[in-house]
Amino acid sequence: MQGMRKAIPIAIGVAAVLFVAASFLGGIWWGFDLLANFRVQMAAGTFALILILGLAGSLPGAGLAAVAFLINAAVIAPLFLPASEASRSELTVLSFNLLSSNDNYEEVLEYVLESEADVVFLHEGTEEWEAAIAEARLPYEMVSTRAPEFAFGTIALVPDGAETVDYGFARTDPRAIEVRWEGFALLGIHPLAPVSERSAELRDEQLAFAADWARRVRGPAIVAGDFNSTPWTHAFRTLFGDEDFTNTQRGHGFDATWRAGTIWQVPIDHIVVTSDLTVIERELGPALGSDHLPVFAEIGPKRLGP
């Protein structure tokens, strides 16, 4: 019996380490990649295990839980490190998943106006949202990716003179819209949610399209939208985690955007820029009737010298 009491806390510690290790194997199986989205929750859970197993008198079990905690903490920590400084502000971008069932039209559009963003991407924009935006007469040109047979798409609100390219919003399309304005190239994206193996594959393909697009662009490029992926998933790390890109979340910590107001809140809405750009300011807005929070970023060219 005494041996069993010693073995159980150790087994719990081993399970915690294996659980965390599995979250790094998203390239092998999509289910493992889902675990990576909850990196902060895993860190909190393993920290609680350290306390519980330590108070229970199992130093080996608490030590294993500490290993699991430190692995998670090491992955999360870079988001709190300061980003490179910008030489000046040149562009502001707002990205917000409206939630297709949301009918807080006046509140959302007032927030858009107050943001004074140069380019706005509104995801899950329905026919009703298109009508509300048209009626509000905002100081933007509205371009929607929603085809008549689709319930929703991404709406881009762009300045006069901006050029746009719709890459399609069907399930197997890139689900992206390109905006060109004053020397900047922006791509608003809304890849599929990874709720099955096939949808996870398509999400990864859609993220790969966005990363390839940004690398092909001549000049500064920005990818903004609901990525349906946190910075810790295999797809995000392999596609946007190298020196070609800067996640504007860096220097701003966790900044979780979905599901707003729950313990499962995770950062899946992003604004990622190419390495010649950096973020001056980044903030999250209120939920405004959605289960997502808006992401606003002020962007400028990276300062090259002292």
Once rounded to an integer, what is the mean pLDDT over residues 276-303?
93
Once rounded to an integer, what is the mean pLDDT over residues 112-118?
97
Domain 91-301 is found in CATH 3.30.70.100: no
Domain definitions of the chain by residue range: 2-80, 91-301
Q: What is the pLDDT of residue 261?
A: 85
Residue linked to tokens 């955007």: 257
User: Residues 230-274: pLDDT tens digits?
Assistant: 999 999 999 999 889 999 999 999 999 999 888 899 999 999 999
Q: Angle at Cα 274 formed by Cα 175 and Cα 271, nearest 5°? A: 50
In 3D space, the residue among 80, 55, 58, 56 whose CA is nearest the CA of residue 14 turns out to be 58
Provide, rounded to the nearest whole percent, the portion of the chain with pLDDT above 70.
97
Residue 295, beta-bridge partner list: 95, 284
Residue 63 structure tokens: 């030590």
Mean pLDDT of the chain: 94
Residue linked to tokens 């709720």: 195
Once rounded to an integer, what is the mean pLDDT over residues 32-60?
95
Instruction: Give the Cα separation of 126 and 146 in Å (integer).
Output: 8
In the structure, what pLDDT confidence band is assigned to residue 85 with cuts at 50, 70 and 90?
confident
Residue 286 has pLDDT above 90, yes or no: yes
Provide, rounded to the nearest whole percent, the portion of the chain with pLDDT above 90.
87
The pTM of this model reads: 0.95
Distance (Å) of CA 252 to CA 11, 210, 284, 290 = 36, 23, 10, 22
Average the pLDDT over each of 84-88, 100-104, 224-228, 283-287 and give the range with the smallest value: 84-88
In the structure, what pLDDT confidence band is assigned to residue 305 with cuts at 50, 70 and 90?
low
Distance (Å) of CA 194 to CA 34, 149, 191, 210, 291 = 8, 23, 9, 17, 17
Q: What is the pLDDT of residue 7?
A: 86
Residue 173 structure tokens: 């399309």
Q: What is the pLDDT of residue 273?
A: 97
Instruction: Give the Cα separation of 69 and 50 in Å (integer).
Output: 8
Instruction: Give the Cα separation of 104 and 120 in Å (integer).
Output: 17
Once rounded to an integer, what is the mean pLDDT over residues 8-37?
95
Q: What is the pLDDT of residue 306?
A: 53
56 Cβ contact partners less than 8 Å away, ≥ 6 residues apart: 9
Antiparallel, parallel or unpaired: β 91-97 and 119-125: parallel
User: Residues 12-22: pLDDT tens digits?
Assistant: 999 999 999 99
